[in-house]
Structure 1
Amino acid sequence: MELSLKKTGLLLMAFALTGCVTQTYENDKTTPVIKNESSNNEIAMTRISLGLGYLKMGNTTQAKLNLEKAKRFAPNLVQVYTAFAHYYDVVGEPELATQAFDKALTLNAKDADTLNNYGVFLCKQEKYDKAEKQFLKAIAVPAYLLVAKSYENLALCQLKANNFDKAEHYLDKSIQHSPTSASSLLQMMRLQYAKANYEDAQVYLKRYEKSTRRFSSQALALAYKIYEKQNNQRIAKNYGAMLVKMFPNSFEARQYLLNELDVIEADELAKLYQSTQQTTVSTNKRVVKLSPSSSGQVEKSKPQQKATVTNVKPTQTLKPEEPRAHHIVKAGETLFSISRTYNIQMKAIERWNSISRTGTIKVGDIIYLAAPSSEINEQ
């Protein structure tokens, strides 16, 4: 999440740095002292704004230079260290980012913006419990105005942690605080679809449509799927037609024309939800394991881990093949995102890699992007 800081133009910065000055005197009434009328905090805020602007453009050197100058003008300003935390997060220094957030909170433990941003950072680091605590601290600040947004952040973080019930609870809280928030309504629509609550998803779709005039290709694709799952083909096709008309060059429109949106991002979330439900059931079972050394002993099963994809079949002898185009899975990637990147149907990727729809992939897996030679020869 980007920090929300006041934007200040270069002209204003120049005025702040070279503006009018006032001459005063020390206690002896004879030693003149020159003071700038602009406060050090105002100058620091200008430097922060400039530094974050450079950071957004990718000029990290100038970004840090301006943040250091801001720190020199106002070493006890909370926003200085919150900005430094964002800088360190962007350049991949999570430990320094953590130190900067902690410093900011030692200066003001109830700065809601800092608490919210700290929560976002911790969620990115997959420290979900700590992130939740920071979000809730921000929400508890009486003067904080962005409560709905922090609840939405909490929900998205819980989704990342595969905690669907908590995510729904926090999205509901977000909508209570801001009933017309298009982003929260869209996330709730997506979550209800993933949980196969299609009628509830339809209710939130109607509320979403009333709350915004800016539809996205993802929202229209989801609307299509909600009605398609309820076998209402007429309304589903209306949304499909809107998708193609409004976003003809979008990935979703191409997939609609190609396979009528066989799989969308929310389907990946649905598959993840189903896997968590299966894991919850399996961890409550007891498994009997027999071995030569300890026959008859009962051992509780460990929590079921996600299935990993194995492309080699031990009982099958394969002839050497020519090297095939492939992709190595990175953190956060799914089969859906990979298929979207290479514009390849998910069904083809699943077939080429012997992956079932219920299977999962992990970081480092090799995903083939072309058919094996045996399949090509058969064709």
Structure 2
Amino acid sequence: MDELDPLERVAVYRWPIALAVLAALSVLLYLLQPILTPFVLGGLIGYLGDPMVDRLERLGMQRSLGVAIVFLLFTAIVAVALIFALPMLLHQLDALVAKVPDLYRWLTQGLIPWVQQTFDLPDRQLPQVDWSGQLADNWQSVGRFTAQSLKTITGSGAGLMLWMANLALVPVVAFYLMRDWDVLISKSLDLLPLAWQQKSIELVSESDEVVGAFLRGQFLVMCSLGVIYSVGLWLVGVQLAMLLGIIAGLASIVPYLGFIVGIVASCIAAYAQFHDWTMLLWVALVFGVGQAVESMVLTPVLVGDRIGLHPVAVIFALMAGGQIAGFVGVVLALPVAAVVMVFLRHAMHHYRASDLYGRD
């Protein structure tokens, strides 16, 4: 080490310094996790809206005006969802709760005896439940919990102010990040050593493509599948069409999970409603059409093959993120996992091209 000149000595210390900075940032993010929610949500909105703002800017529009237009568009979408979709969703949730006794009765008196008789299994029954009393108690508990939570929030001036401040911070953070996203990325790259900047630009570009496929492409795929499943089940006549479609669309963040969860839940709901086995064929047709549209149109056009994350890796990332940092961890899990996969691919390429891998 003493034989190295000053420039070579600095180059040797680059990696330890970079790893130390990365570790310090990770610890800082973990410690600040309780206050990061508005910043993470604002950053997510800013990242989703940045390509639209860039496109408007290329058309000759001032960036601040483009940010305002995109921001108003997002606000209108959220407002329409809250005004029209949320009441319908809550109504169907109430309908689902009302159907719980019928579903449990069908399970204990119909499905389980049929399975036991068909496969010659021991005759065992589930316990009888007084659903009228159970549901009343549980809904009263939920009501009491909600009332107590609201009382705690509104009863404490500091708690109410903190909750309102966090809510108000989300659009503010999103607006400023959309406006200055490209500038912040450029300045962040300028902080890196000159020898790393070109490769870092390549890695950031590839990571942006992968994360964009997840956050933009997969989000659009989930929303599209939710609409397809909801409309299809509504045309079939299933009462819980919107609720089941949204569940299946959200579950589709893991490949094939949305299809499996959606078709099983929808078949149970359809049979409990109609008591007709032919309705299951219509439900299967709805999900078959949705799966075909996803495989042939939505995923190739909106996502492509850029993600490269195995379904098990997606599940692990979501669970690990929730375990480490709660809601913030779940939001950041897939973007972080996608970026890690990009760096791992480059690291494996570098390793296989090295003497360590090639020598006998």
The TM-score range, normalised by the shorter chain, is: under 0.3
Higher fraction of strand: 1
Larger Rg: 1
Higher fraction of helix: 2
Q: Tell me the TM-score normalised to structure 1 length.
A: 0.22
Between the two structures, name the one with larger relative contact order (CA 8 Å, sep ≥ 6): 2
